[in-house]
Amino acid sequence: MEKQHQRINEHIAQLNQFLEKGVAADFLKLFLDLHPYEQGQFYTNLDSAQQQQVSTWLTVEQLAHMFNDINFSQVDVAALVKVLSPKRLAAVVDAMYSDNSGQMLTYLDPETLAQYEPWLSATDSQMLEQLAQYPEESAGALMGGDFIAVPADITVTDAMQAIKEAALHIELFQYIYVIDHAGDLLGVLSFRALILNEPDTKVHEVMNQHVITVEPTVDQEVVAHVMADYNFVALPVVESGHLVGVITIDDIVHVIDEEATQDYSGLAGTDVDAPQQNPFYAALKRLPWLIGLIFLGLGTSTIIDGYDDLIAKASVLAVFVSLITGTGGNAGTQSLAVAIRRLSLGERPKLLRAFITELLIGTTVGAIAGTTIFLVVWLWKGDFILGMAVGLAMAMAILIANIAGAFIPRIMNHFGIDPAVASGPFITTMSDLTSVIIYFTIAGMFITHFMN
């Protein structure tokens, strides 16, 4: 790895020199020697004038090759395509694998897309219409149209010939799909099966009829888990029996990574993949959540302020505020994380059942944690009643934080909001508020005791 990194870094330094001097031949010799992914990394880091220059040196096929390996979720796609004329971009789109070009086009707004549409081939226009039809981050938005489909009554030899013809423009061809004349999916044939069977066998005799498929509306994270579980490198997308596209493993690897990073960023209350080079930029990225939560936290302060008299009379109460809010927040974060993970996996347990489960978990955790702190406070402060108040408050704070952590993501999901936004810090701060109310309400009940 180290040696490879070094080679790439040396290449990049030289490429920058050639680019500055404007020597196309030297530049191209070195550039085309790089892997398309490395080309894309270099290209996307150039300013638009430089990109303009490089793009005129490259052929449509070379551009398409490079674009195939760009991870569009990590670059400014609008700026990237603006460098090329609509006609040239359309040619590049035509030459790209359709799952990759589809991905790229989803990052453009409708007006920009409309500019390119007249130049696109019929196939690509159709793909665009199809993409617009399916929800974002669904199987339909992820699938590509480049797959090999053959009729059921051809022979293994004919199927092999179909593969040879398709090899030029198909990205991954581990599987061949067998369809009837209406385009309905009948079965799947592995490349291995083709190799291992007699040349004149009919494909329907050797195909696997139990094909695992997904509908185009299924969420991409569910698709990712089906492919991971079954060890698939490709998964057909079927709409009312009709084979409409295929999702390949390389797209899924990105999905798993992105979805996990989204969930993780949500729990952290900051985009963990934002570039960190510039500390002031990084600070600006983190501030909105933090400031927002400070104002939410001021709610908690206001409530404590309302109990000012109580605290003035029994200052020992202040000692346990942060312990109770902290523990409530920790319990809420735990159940939030579990709930978001289960939603990601497509699990939707029945509401009443889920509520009873969380009630039992919260009660168990709350009872054990509450009893622990009751004993500690009683022994430490030699005050049975104070121990009772702190223990009871903690048990209830845990129970409520637990239920809130489990249900807020479900409620958000119900209203179509990404539950990962219900971040850890948000739950923690919300839980501070309820914990403080519970704590001082319970303490208030024992007020005569504390007013020694």
Site for a copy of itself in 38-97 (CB under 8 A): 68-69, 71
Please answer whether residues 235 and 247 qualify as being in contact, where contact means their C-beta atoms are separated by less than 8 angstroms.
yes
Q: Closest CB to a copy of itself among 34 and 105?
A: 34
Q: Closest CB to a copy of itself among 280 and 415?
A: 280
Binding of a copy of itself by 177 (CB under 8 A): no
Residue 237's SS3 state is: strand
Q: Which residues pair with 184 in a beta bridge?
A: 242
Binding of a copy of itself by 289 (CB under 8 A): yes
Binding of a copy of itself by 360 (CB under 8 A): yes
Query: Of 26, 117, 273, 418, which lies in the binding site for a copy of itself, with binding defined by CB under 8 A?
Result: 273
Q: What is the DSSP string of 241-293?
A: TEEEEEEEHHHHHHHHHHHHHHHHHHHHTS-TTS--SSHHHHHHHHHHHHHHH
Query: Of 29, 35, 242, 414, which lies in the binding site for a copy of itself, with binding defined by CB under 8 A?
Result: 35
CB of 224 to a copy of itself, least distance (A): 8
Cα–Cα distances (Å) from 413 to 300, 342, 387, 406, 410, in that order, read 27, 12, 39, 12, 5
State the Cα–Cα distance between residues 448 and 185, nearest whole angstrom. Answer: 77
Binding of a copy of itself by 243 (CB under 8 A): no
Q: Closest CB to a copy of itself among 26 and 215?
A: 215
Binding of a copy of itself by 301 (CB under 8 A): yes
Residue span binding a copy of itself (CB under 8 A) among the ranges 87-95, 107-115, 167-175, 199-207: 167-175
Q: Closest CB to a copy of itself among 15 and 120?
A: 15
CB of 418 to a copy of itself, least distance (A): 15
Query: Of 132, 291, 411, 417, which lies in the binding site for a copy of itself, with binding defined by CB under 8 A?
Result: 291
CA dihedral 394, 400, 405, 409 (to 10 degrees): -170
Q: Which two tokens stand for residue 387?
A: 């121990």
Cα 103–Cα 108–Cα 111 angle in degrees, nearest 5:
140
Q: Closest CB to a copy of itself among 65 and 127?
A: 65
Binding of a copy of itself by 384 (CB under 8 A): no
CB of 163 to a copy of itself, least distance (A): 7
CB of 307 to a copy of itself, least distance (A): 9
Residue 425's SS3 state is: helix
Q: Closest CB to a copy of itself among 98 and 333?
A: 333
User: Is residue 447 exposed (0-12), middle (13-18) or buried (19+ Cβ within 10 Å)?
Assistant: middle
Q: Closest CB to a copy of itself among 48 and 174?
A: 174
Binding of a copy of itself by 421 (CB under 8 A): no
CA dihedral 186, 188, 194, 198 (to 10 degrees): -40
Question: Binding mask 202-231 vs a copy of itself (x if CB under 8 A, - otherwise)?
Answer: --------x-xxxx--x---x-xxxxxxxx
Q: Please name the residues in contact with 260: beta carbons below 8 A apart, sequence gap of 6 or more.
A: none
CB of 231 to a copy of itself, least distance (A): 4
Binding of a copy of itself by 240 (CB under 8 A): no
Q: Closest CB to a copy of itself among 28 and 222?
A: 222
Binding of a copy of itself by 416 (CB under 8 A): no
Binding of a copy of itself by 379 (CB under 8 A): no
Q: Closest CB to a copy of itself among 1 and 49?
A: 1
Angle of helix 98-105 versus helix 60-68 axis, rounded to 10: 80
Q: Which residues, 88 to 147, sit near a copy of itself by CB under 8 A?
A: none
Binding of a copy of itself by 167 (CB under 8 A): yes
Q: Which residues pair with 234 in a beta bridge?
A: 248
State the Cα–Cα distance between residues 407 and 290, nearest whole angstrom. Answer: 23
* CB neighbourhood size of 243 (10 A): 21
Return the closest-CA partner of residue 143 out of 127, 166, 122, 167.
Answer: 127
Q: What is the DSSP string of 92-131?
A: HHHHS-HHHHHHHHTTS-HHHHHHHGGGS-HHHHHHHHHH
How are strands ordered across the β-sheet holding 149-151?
Answer: 149-151, 175-179, 185-190
CB of 34 to a copy of itself, least distance (A): 8
Query: Of 400, 425, 442, 443, which lies in the binding site for a copy of itself, with binding defined by CB under 8 A?
Result: 425
CB of 378 to a copy of itself, least distance (A): 13
Binding of a copy of itself by 351 (CB under 8 A): no
Q: Closest CB to a copy of itself among 116 and 426?
A: 426
The one-letter amino acid code at 20 reads: E
Binding of a copy of itself by 341 (CB under 8 A): yes
* CB neighbourhood size of 124 (10 A): 21
Number of residues lying near a copy of itself (CB under 8 A):
116
